[in-house]
Chains A and B, each alone.
Chain A
């Protein structure tokens, strides 16, 4: 009774009072963005910008800048990357021809998505449980629609049965065999897209299987069933549209999911995996370094190039697989034309972005070089590294329940990793227009989630939680 009186006399916080409204708005926007409306980046940007500006205007007095400096290490590089990309000619080649004016929405979209996540995490009613449900349910509906559309046109396993067959459409034979295409809802129309692009969505949706291993069915029946249905939809979609390449990416994805689940379940496994991951990152760094040297024509790297060329396995990895030719060309061009240094401003070139005359590699890590130059891509990488570092910190420090922490973990890491393997920069079969990954809805949601975890990974140093925080940080440092 006494507690009630105390609460009644306290002036109510406006963020708490209006939180439900903003929480609902935020969920609606996430639902909309996650459902994916083709290349509607400008629309998504406007939604996030409107939400953030409304939040700031209404809660201006209540806003506190504590902890914002660490968030700025995430926000600032994102903004710089967006700015450099907007100035480059890369965006002139993208779907809908995002020109100079529309290109401005790239820094706006990325920054406001991050800010929206950061600000909405202040609202107590805006729970990660609902956020994940909305994102996965919306993505699940989208993937189901795509599956049904594709199955109306084709049949299960058509990617294997008809892998070398062509169809005529609108007077012309398809530019690729039907085994390499699928149908999906692209904007407000049904379009033929590449199978790699199509696969990205069910692949990320498959990470919805992670919370299933941490939720108790009896206590969370509805949630459990939503995640279960999403997982089944993703599984069936991946199975019905399987190709030789997507089989490899599916296996990688499943291994990743199993590792995340085991790491969440068993502390010892998590510790071992941390060490394994550290080694893996070092190996990955060395591979990229080797890739870089292999692509250069400097005389002192000739022995390295010879070793790679003379070994069949290394040659396959570095020179003759589906990605390596274009990656090598991009890396080689860095110190040949020097066009990717500085701010890559230029008028629209005839065929290629920024006058760099090679195709995109479909690996965003390297394609960002074309999009924003070397500095822009470093800034983007920096933002992602800072974001993922805080994601790990959030995982250890936050009071959110384990299933949802695992859910965020699965979505963000699942997207960042799998998009390196299956994202197609030219998704439409009948068009050569680009759809850059930084304008995709999943990237915006990933940025939103990374922004969301910042506040939650910074626990106030109150007497009550100092002890627990120290304990948690010990675990965190041990694990990292």
Chain B
């Protein structure tokens, strides 16, 4: 009887121990980052341990600046020859709007290589929007885009995430995005283009904390905003309105692909096609990031 009683009482601490609130790390009163006010939608979340302005910051910085060059096989579309070199299955993919099923045996690229498909830990939290395979806007903005703030004098902008698990065999990196620009007047500015410089940092776990591996890449003529004609529904969903940027990670001398467990993305607005002709107007700019992936990976 005594043993039975002990077993019964063991149930209570077991329940309390399991009450870790794993699903409660991010809770919201409503749907976040979906305000009609542009400025309120910036996703500027930084994990404490990789946030330079936080006490818990524990990152060893690699000071050397590495700019993505031709050796890293960068690509900006799935038609790019470098993409064909990096992805052995390139022939099976179509860079198509997610809801439209590709014809024949081809598969939509985004849903095929989404991180949440490789590991369930990517399904939790508001950042899961970046890992769900939806590479284009389908009208449900809150479900799709992550709006990134540009670097300024006061802020480094961007966001920084640490993953629950580690990746040890990354083959290449991919992200899909476009830009957005609004003014105080909040009018429709029509189709524009932006020149931006990314700082993409990978975080590798080490004994003391994390090692940051920063990579820089400049890209010009990034599609910004939709066109004037809103009666053409495919316009905002057209594949050529987005940039699918990626580069090699496998056997890369500078980028070790072992113990990869985090990412931060910052950018600097170099120029845009609107500001020069409207020097008196205040503008707000953002990179609308839709998807991030490390295709063909396993996470432990």
Residues of A within 8 A of B132 (CB): 170-172
Counting CB contacts under 8 A, is A148 at the interface? yes
Interface stretch (choices A29-37, A48-56, A152-160): A152-160
Residues of B within 8 A of A169 (CB): 123-124, 128
In chain B, residues 25-62, which have Cβ atoms closer than 8 Å to a Cβ of chain A?
26-31
Contact status of A167 and B18, CB under 8 A, knowing A173-B142, A225-B4, A229-B8: no
Contact status of A168 and B8, CB under 8 A, knowing A148-B18, A152-B22, A173-B142: no
Chain A, Cβ-Cβ closest to B132: A171
B residues near A, CB below 8 A?
A: 1, 4, 8, 11, 14-16, 18-24, 26-31, 116, 123-129, 131-132, 134, 142-144
A sample of 19 inter-chain contacts (CB < 8 A) reads: A148-B15, A151-B19, A153-B23, A154-B23, A154-B24, A156-B15, A158-B21, A162-B24, A164-B29, A166-B28, A167-B23, A167-B24, A167-B124, A171-B131, A171-B134, A178-B23, A178-B27, A236-B11, A240-B15
In chain A, residues 307-351, which have Cβ atoms closer than 8 Å to a Cβ of chain B?
none
Chain A, Cβ-Cβ closest to B122: A170
Chain A, Cβ-Cβ closest to B4: A225
Counting CB contacts under 8 A, is A257 at the interface? no
Counting CB contacts under 8 A, is A80 at the interface? no
A225 to B3, CA, bound (A): 12
**What is the distance, in angstroms, from B164's C-beta to the closest C-beta of chain A?**
14
Among B14, B24, B30, point to the contact of A155 (Cβ < 8 A): B24
Residues of B within 8 A of A154 (CB): 19, 21, 23-24
Contact status of A171 and B143, CB under 8 A, knowing A164-B29, A166-B27, A166-B30: yes
Residues of B within 8 A of A151 (CB): 15, 18-19
Contact B28 A167 (CB under 8 A): yes
Pairs A-B, 3 closest by C-beta atoms: A171-B132, A153-B23, A165-B27
**What is the distance, in angstroms, from B258's C-beta to the closest C-beta of chain A?**
28
Counting CB contacts under 8 A, is A232 at the interface? yes
Residues of A within 8 A of B14 (CB): 148
**Looking at A151, A165, A228, A240, which has the most chain B CB atoms within 10 Å of its CB?**
A151
**What is the distance, in angstroms, from A181's C-beta to the closest C-beta of chain B?**
9
Query: How many residues in A have their beta carbons less than 8 Å from beta carbons of B?
Result: 30
**What is the distance, in angstroms, from B284's C-beta to the closest C-beta of chain A?**
24
Residues of A within 8 A of B23 (CB): 153-154, 167, 178, 183
**What is the distance, in angstroms, from A376's C-beta to the closest C-beta of chain B?**
38
Residues of B within 8 A of A225 (CB): 4
A168 to B116, CA, bound (A): 13
Contact B21 A155 (CB under 8 A): yes
Residues of A within 8 A of B126 (CB): 168
A368 to B63, CA, bound (A): 70
A169 to B128, CA, bound (A): 7
Contact status of A156 and B27, CB under 8 A, knowing A168-B124, A170-B123, A170-B132: no
Contact status of A165 and B21, CB under 8 A, knowing A225-B4, A229-B8: no
Contact A155 B128 (CB under 8 A): no
**What is the distance, in angstroms, from A13's C-beta to the closest C-beta of chain B?**
40
Counting CB contacts under 8 A, is A396 at the interface? no
**What is the distance, in angstroms, from A240's C-beta to the closest C-beta of chain B?**
8
Chain A, Cβ-Cβ closest to B14: A148
A117 to B149, CA, bound (A): 67
Residues of A within 8 A of B131 (CB): 171
Bitwise, A407-444 to B at CB < 8 A (1) or not (0) is 00000000000000000000000000000000000000
Contact status of A168 and B128, CB under 8 A, knowing A153-B23, A173-B31: yes
Residues of B within 8 A of A162 (CB): 24, 27
Bitwise, A103-134 to B at CB < 8 A (1) or not (0) is 00000000000000000000000000000000
In chain A, residues 203-217, which have Cβ atoms closer than 8 Å to a Cβ of chain B?
none
Chain B, Cβ-Cβ closest to A153: B23
A165 to B32, CA, bound (A): 11
Residues of B within 8 A of A158 (CB): 21, 24
Among B18, B28, B30, point to the contact of A152 (Cβ < 8 A): B18
A328 to B27, CA, bound (A): 36
Among A153, A173, A183, A228, point to the contact of B21 (Cβ < 8 A): A153
Residues of A within 8 A of B27 (CB): 162, 165-167, 178
Residues of A within 8 A of B125 (CB): 167-168
**What is the distance, in angstroms, from A188's C-beta to the closest C-beta of chain B?**
14
A236 to B1, CA, bound (A): 22
Counting CB contacts under 8 A, is A147 at the interface? yes
Residues of A within 8 A of B20 (CB): 152, 155
A156 to B21, CA, bound (A): 9
Residues of A within 8 A of B142 (CB): 173
Chain B, Cβ-Cβ closest to A228: B8
Chain B, Cβ-Cβ closest to A225: B4
Chain B, Cβ-Cβ closest to A164: B29
A233 to B16, CA, bound (A): 14
Residues of B within 8 A of A164 (CB): 29
A79 to B116, CA, bound (A): 45
Among A153, A156, A221, A228, point to the contact of B22 (Cβ < 8 A): A153
A221 to B252, CA, bound (A): 67
Among A152, A165, A171, A240, point to the contact of B29 (Cβ < 8 A): A165
A236 to B19, CA, bound (A): 13
**What is the distance, in angstroms, from B13's C-beta to the closest C-beta of chain A?**
12
Residues of A within 8 A of B129 (CB): 168, 171
Chain A, Cβ-Cβ closest to B143: A172
Chain A, Cβ-Cβ closest to B25: A167
A32 to B154, CA, bound (A): 62
Contact A236 B26 (CB under 8 A): no
**What is the distance, in angstroms, from A480's C-beta to the closest C-beta of chain B?**
40
Residues of B within 8 A of A153 (CB): 21-24
A170 to B121, CA, bound (A): 10
Beyond the given pairs A153-B21, A168-B124, A171-B144, 19 more chain A to chain B contacts, judged by CB atoms under 8 angstroms and listed by A's residue number, are A147-B15, A152-B18, A152-B20, A155-B20, A162-B24, A164-B29, A167-B23, A168-B26, A168-B126, A168-B129, A169-B124, A171-B116, A171-B128, A171-B131, A171-B132, A171-B143, A178-B23, A232-B11, A236-B15
